[in-house]
Amino acid sequence: MFLQKAKDLGNRMMPAFSTKSGIPYSDVNIKTGRAHAPRWGPDSSTSEVTTIQLEFNDLSYTTGDDKYKNAVGKVRRHVHDQPKKDGLVPIFINAQTGKLRDPATISFGARGDSYYEYLLKEWIQTGKQDERLRRDYIEAMEGMKKHLLRKSKPNGLTYIGELLSGRTFSPKMDHLVAFISGTLALGAHHGLPTDHLDIAKDLLVTFNEMYVQMPSGLSPEIAYFSTDIDAKTDIIVKPPDSHNLQRPETVESLYYLYWLTGDKKYQEWGWNIFQAFERHSKVKTGGYCSLNNVRVAEPSCKDNMESFWLGETLKYFYLLFADKNLLPFDQWVINTEAHPLPIHKH
């Protein structure tokens, strides 16, 4: 039954690919089959169109119908052929023309993040057969090191900034970027450059500090990093960015780093984060809430609980604290929504 439902949903999503370029529209009505660009502009997010490959590949594998993997494979090849900045991509792409927007922000945060994640994970999922995926991933990580990877002042926290309009560096890092520590470590496990693990560890120190340095013990949605050697603190949180949405990315990377290194400090960091959620986010009548302002010792609740709190954050806590690695990294690849998919041997 579940396979039939997956096939039905896949079929209902296929009209999104009916564009001149093959790049899917961002929106599709799964009842009418009508697909279109977002209401706010003509472009799809780059991460949207490059974060369906694992799922559609697996759907083709389980159903025996290649149309799903063919559709997303065309997207992957098209984006591969687009000009980039040392492997880095703008966060928007036009579904009709197939062109990456230039100028546009380059970011490992919102609208860009899982493009990089899926380069690695699709390579792993498909038995490391597609050399283009490996090359594109390594080139992107080298581009990240060249253009985005910096040290804050005065204490030298490692962070990944953004390029506004693809050119101007901004010392801004979303909590979303925390996925990259786990991704870099996973790549090193699968034989990619060993310095990726070193960068993963350095970045994870920073992501943990985004929790530790807040009075609530929980991370803000966005942080800026000081470039002033005389600054009193490395991490700057602006009022509009001070909320916490129960995001999973830091816990996700703690999971990867713990099971890949065996260093128990990652479990300890995760336990401290979990305890902070228990203190501030747990609702007496049931459930957990997002929080308004992590810069105060007792943040107030937003009137919502994010779906990824259950689907991802708590799942990664469970995996982090398990007695053994329940999803061995040579057998499973975990998609961006924390669903495990089998690695297919070729």
Query: Of 221, 249, 306, 312, which is the active-site residue?
Result: 221
Residue type, 266: Y
> Residues 44, 26: contact at Cβ < 8 Å?
yes
Start-to-end C-alpha separation, the chain: 28
> Residues 106, 85: contact at Cβ < 8 Å?
yes
> Residues 206, 158: contact at Cβ < 8 Å?
yes
Q: Which residues contact 2 (CB under 8 A, 6 or more apart)?
A: none
Dihedral-angle region of residue 234 (phi above 0 means left; psi in -120 to 50 means alpha; beta otherwise): alpha
Tokens of 162: 């953004």
278 in active site: no
Strand positions, DSSP E, the chain: 27-28, 35-36, 43-45, 92-94, 149-151, 158-160, 162-164, 168-170, 172-174, 222-225, 235-236, 332-334, 340-342
Cis peptide before 220 (omega within 30 of 0): no
Instruction: Identify the CA nearest to 186 among candidates 266, 267, 253, 265.
Output: 253
Strand positions, DSSP E, 60-139: 92-94
Judged by DSSP in three states, 177 sits in: helix
Cis peptide before 15 (omega within 30 of 0): no
Query: For residue 114, what are the CA distances in angstroms to 33, 140, 186, 200, 342?
Result: 26, 12, 14, 16, 19
Catalytic residues: 221
